[in-house]
A = this chain, B = another copy of it.
Amino acid sequence: MALNAAVVAVGTELLGEDRLDTNSLRIATVLRSCGVPLVFKSVVGDDETRLTRALQQASEEADLVIVTGGLGPTQDDRTRNAAQRLTGGTLEQDQGVLDWIRAMYERRGAQMPATNARQAEVLAGSTVLQNDRGTAPGLRFEHNGATFFLLPGVPMEADGLLETALRPWLIARGLEPLAVETELRVACLPESLVEEKLASLYAAHGGDGVAILAKPGEVLIRLRGSDAQERSDMVKAVEAALGEAVFTVVEGAGQSESLEQVAVKALRDRHASLATAESCTGGLIGSRLTTVAGSSSVYAGGAVAYANQVKINILGVDAALIERYGAVSGPVAEAMAVGAAQRFATQWSISVTGVAGPGGGSEEKPVGTVWFGLAGPGVLRSRCLLFPGDRERVRWQASQYALDMLRREVLELDALEESPWMTVTRQQPPEPSEERLGGLSR
């Protein structure tokens, strides 16, 4: 049984100048993993009449209509009402749902606001989809030959119901991926270079066989083969082309690992500990590492050394180094790394000091210039890269590069080749002297 799907995103804010329907991207991922093509998307504001038309029209375009948003407690949440108009059904307060919402508030030691009672209004005859992450239950019903899923607009809540309601429903219908996929992720290489290196593989298997998706600071590669043998040959070809830039490979529907997960895992496997010393990234690297559950077994912590005085007082960087080379320099990056490992008593440390912009750039060190330092058992390195883009982009790419530099060192892989989208001026790693590494042998 082959289905296709449409998405309707509800909310006036999604018709503005600053917000897009990002839920549809994750919906597309779930659909694709079950081999269901997404053929149409629409966005409509908090207008019951337009919304009702949009739902009708989506049901004419597809067998499966996934609606996100408009299930909140406020008066401008109209999706329940539109579903009622669409189907000519009735909305009834569901005591079970009401009790459940009330209990949810009580578990938090709070009283349910009266307005939330609206969220217990259910389309008669529809199936309630319990939302464990919020107070808006989802609904499933049939109309005009299509199956409707009404999901909350809050991404976290929508994601929950995609896994607990949509995916099981698809699987129960025996919907299997056309071919199982293998996903690989590549750090710090530009999409264009990945495409170049995979050109022959792409030529051999086409867009259905090889999908290349660009994400900030990394590239996802999805391989589809008719069987496991073909797929593993494809994986080998990718690894031959991209080498150690590939940081995770996952078969089928499994969740591929993030770069921070891979780095934490590499350290945990070696019972090693890590500290961070961040200037321009301001805590972004620590924040990414600590999104990994269990990172506390590896990550001791770090210093956000934004001011030079902090580099000196907290990390023990020699003021003379900053004086001589500037805060954004190899020697200071190395001293920050060594200081972090010593002060936080860890085997490994990474440091970042750079010019994120918009201000602070110079002829010699333009905005986007970032120095990285890494210290580990018998290892002390620094690198400088020039990242394109605005402050946010520079910071993100820097955190991505630092995590990849750590991953490569801990796993004893080759260093990242120079990549076209950034100028890399490399400094000869100085011989680690006992004195400089003193702190690391602890």
Contact = CB atoms under 8 A, between A and B. Distances in A.
Nearest to A116: B192
Contacts of A109: 386, 423
Nearest to A112: B420
A293 interface: yes
A291 B280 CA distance: 9
A158 interface: no
A171 interface: no
Interface stretch (A138-146, A300-308, A372-380): A300-308
B113 A314 contact: no
Interface in A178-228: 190-193, 195-196, 202, 207, 211-216, 220
How many copies of the polypeptide does the oligomer hold?
2
Interface string A20-58: 111011101100100001111111111100100110010
A287 interface: yes
A38 B18 contact: no
A306 B293 contact: no
A20 B289 CA distance: 25
Interface stretch (A67-75, A86-94, A234-242, A426-434): A67-75
Interface stretch (A161-169, A243-251, A390-398, A406-414): A390-398
A32 B17 CA distance: 9
Contact of A156 (B46, B76, B207, B393): B393
Contact of A391 (B291, B302, B359): B291
B113 A154 contact: no
Interface residues of A, number: 116
Given A276-B304, A287-B283, A304-B302, A154 B214 contact: yes
A290 B422 CA distance: 23
A439 interface: no
Contacts of A57: 57
A3 interface: no
A283 B309 contact: no
A331 interface: no
A148 interface: no
Contact of A293 (B105, B156, B304, B357): B357
A388 interface: yes
Nearest to A302: B304
Identify whether the interface residues of A are mostly helix, strand, loop, or mixed. Answer: mixed
Interface string A286-328: 1101110111100111111111011001100000000000000
Contact of A314 (B40, B290, B303): B303
Interface centre among A50, A215, A283 (most CB of B within 10 A): A283
A287 B284 contact: yes
Given A113-B193, A392-B291, A74 B303 contact: no
B302 A307 contact: no
Contacts of A291: 282, 391-392, 395
Give me the 8 closest cross-chain CB pairs, A-B, nearest first.
A282-B290, A283-B283, A283-B286, A109-B423, A301-B306, A283-B287, A41-B43, A301-B310
27 contacts: A13-B213, A15-B37, A16-B32, A17-B26, A40-B43, A40-B45, A41-B44, A72-B191, A75-B207, A109-B386, A116-B192, A133-B390, A156-B393, A276-B283, A278-B283, A278-B286, A282-B290, A283-B284, A283-B287, A284-B287, A286-B287, A286-B306, A291-B395, A299-B306, A301-B304, A313-B344, A314-B344
